[in-house]
A and B are shown apart, each in its own frame.
Chain A
Amino acid sequence: MKFKAAASSAPEVDMTPMIDIVFQLISFFMVITNFEQTQADERVKLPADRLAKPAEVKRDNELVLNVGYKRDKDGNKTDPRALVFYAAQDIPVANIGPKLKIEQQVFKDTGVDLKEVTLIIRADAEVPAGLIQMLIKLSQEAGFEKFALKAKAEETAG
């Protein structure tokens, strides 16, 4: 049997389409990546609402308090107490007062008027309202005046 004698040469792969796609992907990920340091805690399951739209203008001074439950993988509560997830610590709502005083002092030391600071409460949908009111009361005692309650944006027709 006779074989055709072919000169062995490295096959030339056309890289252009691959580079096109890879650049497309990089552009996509660059555009949608958000490097902003948010103080949101993933353990908090916010309630959803139609009117909750992201603010067009970002507030200059804000303090975010995350209130939620410790949950397992299936979303069941492992601790019945609602906790404030504050700087890698889990603090019961009733004991957050001293931490708020520290925050107030930090704002004062940096020359920020507390009237300009918005205290944003990100609470789990199942947290009792009484605890939110307690949190607001403790924050008022620490000197905070402006409050906002967070909710997840809900996309519904109408």
Chain B
Amino acid sequence: MKVRGSGKKAEKVDVPMAPMIDVVFQLLIFFMLTLNIVAPEGDFNINMPIGAPGPPSDNVPTSIQVRLLADPETGQLAQLQVTGQEPYGSGPAAFQRLNTYILQQTGAGKNPLADEIEVEIDPDYEVNYEYIVKAISSVTGRMRDGKLQRFVEKIKFAAPREARGRVAG
């Protein structure tokens, strides 16, 4: 059987590249312009059931109260206190001490009552939100070998306090 054209020399097929390059550049520009770099964010759950709008819970033995005192003018942390403990100060070491205290209370996950422990955050009106996050973070747990070791899950706020200094609302 004779194959048509089998004797001919293979010809190079000329594919028009211009339209493809047009489209490809369009796509490239589109993706470049829609690119929105967002820093990864995480969140901390707060346990605030409606039935209990922050009553004093000192009579519960598994409740730890963390008090954040502020400089009324700047909102900077002036003192970090935990009920029944010496004041912790205001620097990063204070939050480290809080973290260590919570670790001791929860027994690094070995205490069977650790799940029952509840932490109440009681900040001054003026204290900056960043210190609240630091306090909640110190209470929540710590990072070990890239993994979160959780201490306490039940975190709530005490009843709001009256404003003394700056009122920014």
Q: How far is the CA of A132 from the CA of B132 in the complex (A)?
A: 10
Least distance between A141 CB and chain B CB atoms (Å): 9
Q: How far is the CA of A128 from the CA of B34 in the complex (A)?
A: 35
Residues of B within 8 A of A50 (CB): 137, 143
Q: Is the CB of B41 within 8 A of A153?
A: yes
Whether a CB of chain A sits under 8 angstroms from the CB of B141 is yes
Whether a CB of chain A sits under 8 angstroms from the CB of B130 is yes
Q: How far is the CA of A29 from the CA of B28 in the complex (A)?
A: 8
Q: With A52-B43, A80-B168, A158-B143 as given contacts, are A34 and B36 in contact (CB-CB < 8 Å)? A: yes
Question: Of B2-10, B46-54, B107-115, which binds chain A?
Answer: B46-54
CB contact between B168 and one of A51, A127, A149 (< 8 Å): that residue: A127
Binding site for A on B (CB under 8 A): 17, 20-21, 24-25, 27-28, 31-32, 34-36, 38-46, 48-50, 53, 68, 70, 75, 123-134, 136-137, 140-143, 148, 157, 159-161, 163, 166, 168-169
Q: How far is the CA of A123 from the CA of B169 in the complex (A)?
A: 13
Least distance between B80 CB and chain A CB atoms (Å): 13
Q: Is the CB of A128 within 8 A of B75?
A: yes
Q: Is the CB of B46 within 8 A of A149?
A: yes
Q: With A25-B28, A26-B27, A129-B123 as given contacts, are A55 and B43 in contact (CB-CB < 8 Å)? A: yes
Whether a CB of chain B sits under 8 angstroms from the CB of A6 is no
Q: Is the CB of B137 within 8 A of A49?
A: yes
Whether a CB of chain B sits under 8 angstroms from the CB of A53 is yes
Residues of A within 8 A of B148 (CB): 51, 53
